Structure 1
């Protein structure tokens, strides 16, 4: 037995005694401080940096008053823990990912999960491609939310330290990936040969009533990503479906939802609707989301579209549309009927009123040239302020009536002239051009018949079809109504071969469901990609404009002139701030913030180059005045002894930089700056108040 002469330590081994003497009595080791490296954990609310997440949580609590306390939980096994983790991720629209590899000791396994938005974005590319529409998931800072799990190797129990507080971001559904269980289920169906469209359709049906389910936003790209990850061979397997009659479909739908708003089959009479005959057929459909869309968006504009049936029954489809948050057409009510007249349209308006529970006072109604829609609507609802013709229907009517021009070679010039009239945005130019066009049409024997038709149908209602009378009514008929008409025509009619009615009606509801899903995707994952690309290209084009002028417009926006054009366009601030995805990140504004009097903005609802130029002007100084000269003048004028000498100094300053004033913008900029300095001069001399005039 070995004993230490310095203390009471005893050991059986000599080596242990040597180690004891070296470590305790001869040269004891000093514990080195932990090397945490440079501070890399950044605060999302200020410029503070720390070395550890623990320090950052203390900073959030002490400086920003954010509760970062942890909750202690215990689970019987790993399965119960994973189930709890999946549930809170679904409820809170969040995701926790492993920060590092699990660490195992003799008794426990420790694993840490961070919020998936925590951290800094590190680009691995070369900048040739743009980021995804929403940008990186990383918030370039620290989110304190985390989960620490400790698995007891002996009992299998799991102890958890859970910090639920998220900082620096919102919990957005579009930021989440598909859950692993959904990805595996998609991979299984793909391996069985089920088509992508069938998979997406079944997923959307299963999550129809759960707005917080990530599967609601599933797209074809998600399915393609799963197929690539799991290396699935997508064999095409076509499944036949049993056709059902309209009556059975209506009965089945009424049992599960209130989508069927009105149904009157042939061979029946309804005492409450004596205007409907025994031979009439009317079916009106709208789900709850469609009604809500009309409730929220229909106050601005509603549109009517009609698709004529080609089958034996000639049932027509009438669609009531509005414009959704992404400024695209959205179908709110479908009506299938055997006739279209004022009585049937009044019935549709009555059903809409019953579904909403009140009247809807819309600003604008857009239809084709028929009066049945406006008359039927106004018989039930308040009359709209504006009634417009769809530009696509107007142009189509002109093309169909060009046969009234006897010489074929004269038809195309006439059509181009009228189309230019329709697209003209200046009312004065439009009025002169319209009178000239009518005079030429009516005084040419070749076009006199067409001229009479044009004057009779369009001469007295120019406010309904001319773009100059529709500026900034938030309508762009050619943008969405023509494409929506073609889509509905294909869905309802089925292309060249007429689709049976019992298949066309479910196809319409499936189209509506997909439309809702696409709208959700656009709202959660970013706006219309084509519109975003147009905004980005518009800003890049504005950067290449070498000569332009931006000047205040007497408190009513700005006057903007660009390029070689001599025309000034008025850009006004709509004072609308929203969080929509259709925005220019460089200009720091969305597409709703400003409007311009040019054609690109007024009729096509684009963020034109004039808006980009105005933002560029406000964010940087185009006129560089010599601050040194101005300061020198201030110093010199502070030594003057009289009011007249001050005026003389001001006059000298004006003549010294007068040659640099080239545009209206330069003059306005100079006025604002020189006014400030002149007032400073006379304040120093305790002079009387000077009224500075331009």
Structure 2
């Protein structure tokens, strides 16, 4: 039998336990044996020279060492409290360090009360307020605020208010304190230490409660048509989102974003404009891939969820055709939706290519203004006239590389021009998918506070 298993077996009755602490408890309670304490070497004298640090087995030995070797006077006090509540009230006074009391006091809790040996002398550090711990009541108060949804910033701001002209530990509250309380009280309600197991539990919770409905869930390691074993995909919507999609399906905006979770999964957002012309998200996909294959699967599952194809009139995306192709493949209707390119993405592409391909500095500055005017012109004949004049300007300036880029990617056909030129989308009612960009900002910077390391479970909660 190996040494690890020996540690879990009672040598008196040969009964095996799940942990060493359980075995020690058995020895005390059943055999009236006091287990030999494991030697601790992490307790070291705080004032011995670094090269002569003494390792001690217990805090009692540390106190004895400080008295005998360093001739320090260590003040200790003995207290007896009627119950646990009286003890908690006492240790909350004067910002007493809770862990210090617990660690050094030999606190004994029995039916008749609590006996405490309190070591009051501080050695090796100043009695600083910031080095003390929050009281139990303070921790519980902060935990209740966090659980109620009060922001960390508001809690920190409120903590700075000093009452009674006396600075207390809570007045120097830090973000590290909040992080500790979140872990201690499980504020984030982590369902499992393994993120993928926790995500599965979250999906079951959603679908059972009806808050959000996961209509596509492919776990890592599962077999799914068209996907690899290592792929992950989760698509969901709630009842309000489904109702909005069916009611306002004329214009569908689709876009993907990065940087929302620690696994670097991509988030695809499907959005409509509601009766107030406000962007409203109607479906989400979280996946390890952002290609057309996963979009095909996502939109097909979405169609199955709502029970019919979505008969959209326009599909607005960035300049990547995967979203449009996947939508048309899944949502087969009598009319094929017209593809629109987001103005913001088009201008962004022009600016990037202009910086790289234009040679003359003045031409680089002029390009932004002239191309925007061409794009936003609403009269067709004026549009073509402005385009011809600018192309002639580029040709005369020998800016052939940028001219070739425009002709090959944005002016190669009338069908292509109709995707982005405003003269071909008069009365459509939308020019950009900035509602999705706004939603991304709300998610990343308002809700996530710029934290890109959220677990998938926590991102879904958010």
Task: Choose which of 338, 341, 360 in structure 2 pairs with 1:407.
Answer: 360
Check 1:248–1:481 CA distance in 2 against 1; reply closer, same or farther (3 A cut). Answer: closer
Work out the CA distance in 2 between the residues paired with 1:242 and 1:329. Answer: 30
Work out the CA distance in 2 between the residues paired with 1:282 and 1:197. Answer: 30
Q: For the Cα contact (< 8 Å) 1:307–1:489, is it kept in 2?
A: no
Task: Choose which of 500, 504, 515 in structure 1 pairs with 2:455.
Answer: 500
Work out the CA distance in 1 between the residues paired with 2:144 and 2:432. Answer: 35
Superposition map of 1:647-666 within 5 A: none
What is the count of residue pairs matched by the alignment? 284
2:342 maps to 1:390: yes
Secondary structure in structure 2 of the residue aligned to 1:477:
coil
Report the counterpart of residue 427 of structure 1 in structure 2.
380
Q: For the Cα contact (< 8 Å) 2:254–2:268, is it kept in 1?
A: yes
Work out the CA distance in 1 between the residues paired with 2:228 and 2:204. Answer: 22
Report the counterpart of residue 292 of structure 1 in structure 2.
243
2:401 maps to 1:449: yes
Report the counterpart of residue 441 of structure 2 in structure 1.
486
Task: Choose which of 439, 451, 458 in structure 1 pairs with 2:410.
Answer: 458
> Unaligned stretches of 5+ in structure 2?
1-140, 155-170, 183-187
2:428 maps to 1:473: yes
User: How far apart are 1:420 and its partner, in Å?
Assistant: 1.1
Q: Output one character per residue of 1:125-146: Cα deviation in whole Å (capped at 9) or x when no partner.
A: xxxxxxxxxxxxxxxxxxxxxx
The Cα RMSD (Å) is 3.3
Check 1:494–1:343 CA distance in 2 against 1; reply closer, same or farther (3 A cut). Answer: farther
User: How far apart are 1:501 and its partner, in Å?
Assistant: 2.2
Q: For the Cα contact (< 8 Å) 2:260–2:454, is it kept in 1?
A: no
Report the counterpart of residue 269 of structure 1 in structure 2.
223
User: How far apart are 1:443 and its partner, in Å?
Assistant: 4.0
Q: For the Cα contact (< 8 Å) 1:363–1:384, is it kept in 2?
A: yes
Larger Rg: 1
2:354 maps to 1:354: no
Check 1:494–1:449 CA distance in 2 against 1; reply closer, same or farther (3 A cut). Answer: farther
Work out the CA distance in 2 between the residues paired with 1:282 and 1:438. Answer: 45
> Unaligned stretches of 5+ in structure 1?
1-191, 203-219, 221-234, 508-694
Report the counterpart of residue 132 of structure 2 in structure 1.
none
Report the counterpart of residue 77 of structure 1 in structure 2.
none
User: How far apart are 1:278 and its partner, in Å?
Assistant: 0.9
TM (norm. structure 1) is 0.38
Report the counterpart of residue 130 of structure 1 in structure 2.
none
TM (norm. structure 2) is 0.55
Q: Output one character per residue of 1:379-422: Cα deviation in whole Å (capped at 9) or x when no partner.
A: 12135432100111111111221222233443121111111111
Check 1:480–1:443 CA distance in 2 against 1; reply closer, same or farther (3 A cut). Answer: same
Q: Output one character per residue of 1:203-248: Cα deviation in whole Å (capped at 9) or x when no partner.
A: xxxxxxxxxxxxxxxxx9xxxxxxxxxxxxxx99956224343222
User: How far apart are 1:490 and its partner, in Å?
Assistant: 4.0
Task: Choose which of 303, 315, 319 in structure 1 pairs with 2:253.
Answer: 303
User: How far apart are 1:311 and its partner, in Å?
Assistant: 6.2
Check 1:253–1:479 CA distance in 2 against 1; reply closer, same or farther (3 A cut). Answer: closer
2:405 maps to 1:440: no
Report the counterpart of residue 280 of structure 1 in structure 2.
231
Larger RCO (alpha carbons 8 Å, 6+ apart): 2
User: How far apart are 1:429 and its partner, in Å?
Assistant: 0.8
Check 1:195–1:448 CA distance in 2 against 1; reply closer, same or farther (3 A cut). Answer: farther
2:243 maps to 1:259: no
User: How far apart are 1:482 and its partner, in Å?
Assistant: 3.3
Q: For the Cα contact (< 8 Å) 1:305–1:485, is it kept in 2?
A: no
Work out the CA distance in 2 between the residues paired with 1:413 and 1:494. Answer: 37
Secondary structure in structure 2 of the residue aligned to 1:247:
helix
Superposition map of 1:26-425 within 5 A: 199=148, 238=178, 240=182, 241-244=188-191, 245=195, 246-257=199-210, 259-270=213-224, 274-298=225-249, 300-309=250-259, 313-381=263-331, 382=333, 384-402=336-354, 403-425=356-378
Work out the CA distance in 1 between the residues paired with 2:328 and 2:189. Answer: 42
Work out the CA distance in 2 between the residues paired with 1:197 and 1:442. Answer: 63
User: How far apart are 1:310 and its partner, in Å?
Assistant: 7.4
Work out the CA distance in 2 between the residues paired with 1:310 and 1:505. Answer: 10
Secondary structure in structure 2 of the residue aligned to 1:295:
helix
Report the counterpart of residue 621 of structure 1 in structure 2.
none
Check 1:358–1:497 CA distance in 2 against 1; reply closer, same or farther (3 A cut). Answer: closer
Aligned structure 1 segments of 4 or more residues deviating by more than 6 angstroms: 192-198
